[in-house]
Structure 1
Amino acid sequence: MRDQPTWRIPVGVLALVAGLTLYGVAVATWLPPLIADWHAAFQAPVYLLFGVLWLLPLRRFLIWMETGRWSPPDKAEKS
């Protein structure tokens, strides 16, 4: 646990909110015209996929917010 607060956490939270907003607007703008003619049973998995796709880079982003590095710390460094 750190003793001093770091600038990365508030900046990271703001970047996450801004990034998710842009991602949501992009998906809501560009995806419907491409799949509007599809049956709802085929549209649902596409929206589900894009609904969870943003989670892929989230782990490394949260690691950066906490440690300042993009990769997880080595197990030897934890102890």
Structure 2
Amino acid sequence: MTPSWRKPAGMFAILTLILVWVVLIASFAEAIGALAWPLQAAIYLIAGIIWIAPLKPLLRWMETGRWSA
């Protein structure tokens, strides 16, 4: 069984996705920091969950080579 190139490529894509998401959210840190703490907590909670959405198709592609089920 030969190893697939999709797994290293997918891992690189996941790390790139996380890096881009962190830079994007951090660029808004000053504006978010000026808000009330409950609103800050809600924003960071939502931002911490949203980045997971693109992972399901990416992980499926890494395993099967197809983007959809």
TM-score (norm 2): 0.89
Deviations 1:14-48 (A, max 9, x none): 1111121111111111x223323211111101001
Letter in 2 for 1:21: L
Percent identity reads 38
Q: CA RMSD in A?
A: 1.2
Query: Which ranges in structure 1 are unaligned for 5 or more consecutive residues?
Result: 73-79
Q: Aligned pairs, how many?
A: 69
1:51 paired residue number: 48
1:26 aligns with one of 10, 14, 24:
24
Q: Give the Cα–Cα distance (whole angstroms) in 1 for the partners of residues 54 and 20 of structure 2.
A: 15
**Structure number, greater radius of gyration:** 1
1:75 paired residue number: none
The worse-fitting range, judged by mean Cα deviation, of 8-17 and 34-43 is 34-43
